[in-house]
Amino acid sequence: DSGVTQTPKHLITATGQRVTLRCSPRSGDLSVYWYQQSLDQGLQFLIQYYNGEERAKGNILERFSAQQFPDLHSELNLSSLELGDSALYFCASSVQGRNGYTFGSGTRLTVV
């Protein structure tokens, strides 16, 4: 157990639907990062939050949004889902000024 908790582990939904992925960071970590992993694109950075504030944005679609709550857990919202959104979504957390991330086990999203 890495200490980063992601739920749900698996999600199957239809095109056009909206889903919410949840991440609880490791205790004491203020930064949360979201990544999308697909077979041909590797790990693509989506967005970073630090202590409730958005810190950096990557290749995140306008249909996707995220937030970090006062208790530091984060949610990634994916809407108007398309078949191409099927992927593994990982959350990672870190402490500012220390090296490396700790990843969760991911949420496997399948859009049918």
Partner 1 sequence: QQQVKQSPQSLIVQKGGISIINCAYENTAFDYFPWYQQFPGKGPALLIAIRPDVSEKKEGRFTISFNKSAKQFSLHIMDSQPGDSATYFCAASLMNRDDKIIFGKGTRLHILP
- Determine the Cα–Cα distance for residues 21 and 11; give it in Å rounded to an integer: 9
**How crowded is the C-beta side of 51, counted as CA atoms within 13 Å?**
3
For residues 34 to 73, the per-residue mask of contacts with partner 1, x marking binding by CB under 8 A and - elsewhere, is: -x-----xxx-x--x-x----xx-x---------------
Q: Does 3 bind partner 1 (CB under 8 A)?
A: no
**Site residues for partner 1 per CB under 8 A:** 2, 4, 31, 33, 35, 41-43, 45, 48, 50, 55-56, 58, 90, 92, 94, 96-97, 99-106
